[in-house]
Amino acid sequence: MGAGEFEITSETIARHPLKRTLRGIRHLVIGDPLTSGREKPERLTWMTALAVLGADILASSVYGPEEMIRVLVEAGPGAAAGFVLPLAVAIVVLLAIWRSRTGRRSARTRAAQAVTSSPARTWDVWRL
């Protein structure tokens, strides 16, 4: 390879002597890492995939508003004063609307009903 050209490999180069030593020990104990071609493909059942993807969606929806407010606070006092309070109020209003629409049933019950009902009835579950 010429100057300014790079090769992408799965192996990284450890620059610190301690890291090189630890990598050598790990290589002796565990062995060579598998290449992508030798790895066994993983298949998930629909129930497992639903749990994994559902958890990812919940995490994204929970941390999104918090991160928006955090970025605005880090932007400075002007941005924080002008945007954080209205954004926080909007989030609280949306949560209040959601809570009033869901009533006493827990989110877990609603999600289970949405998954087990037919697609035509899914909207009926969310309208209750």
Q: How far apart are CA 50 and CA 29, in angstroms?
A: 36
- Tokens describing residue 81: 């004063």
How far is Cα 103 from Cα 97, in angstroms, rounded to an integer? 10
Q: Is the pLDDT of residue 65 over 50?
A: yes
pLDDT, tens digit, 9 for 90 and up, residues 42-58: 777 777 777 777 777 66
Whether the pLDDT of residue 93 is over 70: the answer is yes
Confidence (pTM): 0.34
* Helix runs in the chain, H state only: 17-30, 46-75, 77-79, 85-102, 107-116, 119-127
pLDDT at 104 exceeding the cut of 70 = no
Given a cut of 80, is residue 63 above it in pLDDT? no
Tell me how far apart the alpha carbons of residues 58 and 115 are, in angstroms, rounded to a whole number.
15
- Per-residue model confidence as pLDDT tens digits over 15-29: 788 888 888 898 899
Per-residue confidence (pLDDT) for residue 125, from 0 to 100: 46
Query: For 3-17, what is each residue's pLDDT tens digit?
Result: 777 666 666 676 788
